[in-house]
Chains A and B, each alone.
Chain A
Amino acid sequence: MRVEATVPLFVRDGILAMPAERTVLHGMLQPDADVFIRVGFREVRVPKPDLPVVDEGNGSMVVLGPPWSIMDRILVARARGDVEMEERQQQQLVTWLAAAYRRALDRCQHYELPGFMGTAIAHSVVPKGEVWLAPGHVGKLGHATERGIAVRYPVASSTSVQHVRIRVVRNSGICGVLIHPDTLVEDMQGDSDGDLIMVGFLDGEPAPGVELGDEMPIEFAECDVEFCEPKNMSIQELVLGYAAKSGVGGNLGIGLATWMTWRRSRTAADLYGTNMGWSTVYDEYTDVIESIMDARKHGSLEIDADLSPLHPLPPLPGVAAMMFRRRIDTSIPAESLVRDFWRLQWSGATPERVPVVEVCQQ
């Protein structure tokens, strides 16, 4: 079906759009029909809509944004014989399309698992290998399963992600994600001063409950205190410490998927397989992160010379860096691009090779 417009339209971006006759919107509402409009001398398909229909009390309305609004303006311009406006709208459509395609691919850099988020609360009552979800007064939990993964944000090493067994705390007074102190501090490199833990539900039976009572026990132990006077850092030490942090490409909070890790993991994946490749590279950087964190506290950076080189590269994850630099070939299906990304490959652009001998030395 091809839609033509012969009358002026009153459709505007983002406001109210009625399914008027001979508009893009009207065409889209035809079930199971492929809809095309003429743009220049080409027939261009109108993407299938997922239109947000909202109820505003006085009736339903449709919020119409690009590309449909742009396409509609093209129809209007042609109906009016306004060639200049039609060409301008065509250019706007191309510009929007390039940005939208990147945004769509960008969203394919992750998938979502149903899960639970909360602040990390360390307590030794929780066995190692388990996390206990405590929704507190919020009360809602979603459909927790007995198996899942727990991720401490930000991800600082391969051990920041743990496969866990999940239990649900039935109390109303405790709020957060309860976890064993060793797991949180040693494995995940976190603490309980506001760090977040994300739990993703995988499979299995519904997570069993656990009764804690409203108050948790504390076990006392022997102590040993050194009453030494704290050392204040000088301005030079502070600057040096924070410079060390920025030296690896800015904010560590986004994770370590910088171009450098991407590049190295690609090579490591050739040697060890995809999954082991990532783990190898992440573990390689764990010592570096710890050195950096120490540098922030003590004002001096000491990194083992045998570790991989660190470059002040932009903190863009690999695929984002590539997407924003390259023009994307439209002959390659989106699925192929995304599949390559998840295999740590990218069509048409081979990541820079790192000498095998260098990787083997790690």
Chain B
Amino acid sequence: MTVRDFGPVVHALDGHGREIASRACIVTVDGIGSRFVLPFYVEAVDESLRILTGREMLQLKFSEGSDTFREWLQQEEMYTPSVHQPYRWEISAREVSLNIRPELIPLAVERFGIDYRWTSKSHPLRIAATRELIEFVSPLLDVPFPVRYDRVYRELRSLLRNGVTALNPVDGPFGEILVKLRVAVVATGNQKTDVLYITPSGREKARFVMPVELPEGHPAQHLLQDAEHTVDNLRWIRRIVRGTINPVGMKLVSTLALKGMTLPVRQYYDVEGNEVDLVVELNSVQSKDLQCMLLGGAADDGVWFVDMLFGCTHAAELVTGPHNLKVRPEIHAIADLRLDPLEMMQKDLAWAEELRLMARDLGLARI
């Protein structure tokens, strides 16, 4: 196996002199035919730019001008710095896409010094970290107890990429998206539900702001603070409303993999009379293999108190509301529903039949 090493770093500018890509590197492993893209590759070929993103190859001619570039920039908006997700770009620029067969991953990991434990939950082992990235996030992992790094890295990736701006930021690395909360870990006798009970003091400290784009008529629309009505994409006349919200029910993610949706509870206090911000079930801590964390915390009669850093990645309001349930045959059968499914889809059936008749008119026996 021969390896062509990391390619040159390329800086590409759009028609207005704005940098659209930097740190673009590529590694090609001859014989395997795979690439590691970091995070995308740009090269000048004759009179065009060849751009390799994590998903596709784009070839743009210089003569197509800035409109094409602007369109492309909109597609790749996730790569541009955002004031609401301050670290998304920082993380993306230090990740590697592994588009190779799983059995080759150990080989590639060893050859290129990649940390495989940093991965995506939805695309496991397709995303990995460079050593530079692990060094970048290491201040958050400087803890005096052992942790499951594959779990911690996976959630940390989600937190740092998707974490939105905190209104009460902490000092220190990644402080813009983190808040420090006093956590009480208690046994409730419940399952490992991952609920995070948030007290009034926690609700005061854990406030975040997130940008939102909603279709007109969305039930959460009235939560937008700086709503701007926009007609997006004239071809299909899609009306949207842009703005920001401060989530109330939210998904909090800690730097140590503890995560869950919040549920408001009354105020609690620790042994020294300090306000507790979050209450967490012991089962949820153990299911994340984080119980060693409790050894350093103050304990009082079966309750442990520890300080942790949390960020917010989702707002419950955005996915809560009226929503039609799509019932497929398996759900219909399992739930033993007595409805006639065909009665429920008259409109689609009528349209299908009309198309079939058109096909018959055209003399098509099969299509």
CB distance from A326 to the nearest CB of B (A): 9
What per-residue 1/0 map shows which CB atoms of B130-152 lie under 8 Å from chain A? 00000000000000001111100
Neighbouring A residues of B361 by C-beta, 8 Å: 36, 39, 42-45
CB distance from A187 to the nearest CB of B (A): 11
A112 near B265 with CB under 8 A, answer: no
Count of chain A residues with Cβ under 8 Å from any Cβ of B? 127
- B113 in contact (CB, < 8 A): no
Q: Give A235 to B359 CA distance when docked, in angstroms.
A: 55
Chain B CB within 10 Å, residue with most, of A104, A230, A338: A230
Neighbouring A residues of B360 by C-beta, 8 Å: 330-331
Neighbouring B residues of A196 by C-beta, 8 Å: 319
Count of chain B residues with Cβ under 8 Å from any Cβ of A? 99
Neighbouring B residues of A108 by C-beta, 8 Å: 345, 348-349, 352
User: Which B residues from 246 to 276 make CB contacts under 8 A with A?
Assistant: 248-249, 251, 259-261, 263-266
A218 near B197 with CB under 8 A, answer: yes
Segment touching B, from A25-33, A75-83, A168-176: A168-176
Segment touching B, from A220-228, A307-315, A350-358: A220-228
Neighbouring B residues of A63 by C-beta, 8 Å: 236-237
- B364 in contact (CB, < 8 A): yes
B317 near A175 with CB under 8 A, answer: yes
- B45 in contact (CB, < 8 A): no
A138 near B332 with CB under 8 A, answer: no
Could you say which of A94, A114, A119, A216 contacts B261, with CB atoms under 8 Å apart? A119
A275 near B334 with CB under 8 A, answer: yes
- A5 in contact (CB, < 8 A): no
Q: Give A48 to B147 CA distance when docked, in angstroms.
A: 63
Chain B CB within 10 Å, residue with most, of A121, A214, A339: A121
Neighbouring A residues of B125 by C-beta, 8 Å: 238-239, 242
Q: Give A122 to B284 CA distance when docked, in angstroms.
A: 12
Neighbouring A residues of B193 by C-beta, 8 Å: 122, 181, 184-185, 191-192
B355 near A104 with CB under 8 A, answer: yes
CB distance from B343 to the nearest CB of A (A): 8
Segment touching A, from B7-15, B204-212, B291-299: B291-299
Q: Give A268 to B233 CA distance when docked, in angstroms.
A: 48
B302 near A220 with CB under 8 A, answer: yes
B359 near A101 with CB under 8 A, answer: yes
User: Which B residues from 334 to 367 make CB contacts under 8 A with A?
Assistant: 334-337, 339, 341-342, 344-345, 348-349, 351-367
User: Which B residues from 180 to 198 make CB contacts under 8 A with A?
Assistant: 186-195, 197
Could you say which of A14, A42, A123, A161 contacts B235, with CB atoms under 8 Å apart? A14
Could you say which of A116, A200, A215 contacts B264, with CB atoms under 8 Å apart? A215
User: Which B residues from 305 to 338 make CB contacts under 8 A with A?
Assistant: 314, 316-317, 319-337
A217 near B191 with CB under 8 A, answer: no
B362 near A44 with CB under 8 A, answer: yes
- A163 in contact (CB, < 8 A): yes
Segment touching A, from B25-33, B35-43, B99-107, B168-176: B99-107
- B109 in contact (CB, < 8 A): yes
B324 near A115 with CB under 8 A, answer: yes
B364 near A118 with CB under 8 A, answer: no
Neighbouring B residues of A100 by C-beta, 8 Å: 355
- B116 in contact (CB, < 8 A): yes
- B49 in contact (CB, < 8 A): no
A101 near B195 with CB under 8 A, answer: no
A329 near B355 with CB under 8 A, answer: no
Q: Give A198 to B335 CA distance when docked, in angstroms.
A: 14
Task: State whether A136 and B248 are in contact (beta carbons under 8 Å apart), knowing that A221-B187, A225-B282, A226-B291 are contacts in the complex.
Answer: yes
- A232 in contact (CB, < 8 A): yes
Given contacts A119-B249, A122-B191, A137-B317, 16 further A-B contacts (CB under 8 A): A36-B361, A45-B358, A135-B219, A135-B321, A140-B219, A155-B330, A192-B260, A193-B259, A200-B327, A218-B279, A219-B188, A229-B292, A274-B333, A330-B365, A331-B360, A334-B356
Chain B contact residues, CB within 8 Å of chain A: 102-103, 105-106, 109, 116-117, 119, 124-125, 146-150, 186-195, 197, 219-220, 222-223, 235-237, 248-249, 251, 259-261, 263-266, 279, 282, 286, 289, 291-292, 294-295, 302-303, 314, 316-317, 319-337, 339, 341-342, 344-345, 348-349, 351-367
* Contacts A/B (CB < 8 Å), 29 sampled: A42-B361, A42-B362, A44-B361, A101-B356, A107-B345, A107-B348, A108-B348, A112-B327, A114-B325, A118-B316, A122-B195, A135-B219, A136-B248, A191-B260, A192-B193, A215-B265, A228-B291, A230-B148, A230-B292, A232-B149, A238-B117, A239-B103, A277-B333, A282-B330, A330-B359, A334-B349, A334-B355, A335-B349, A338-B345
Which 8 residue pairs across A and B have the least CB separation, nearest first? A223-B187, A175-B249, A221-B189, A111-B344, A142-B322, A117-B323, A230-B289, A200-B325
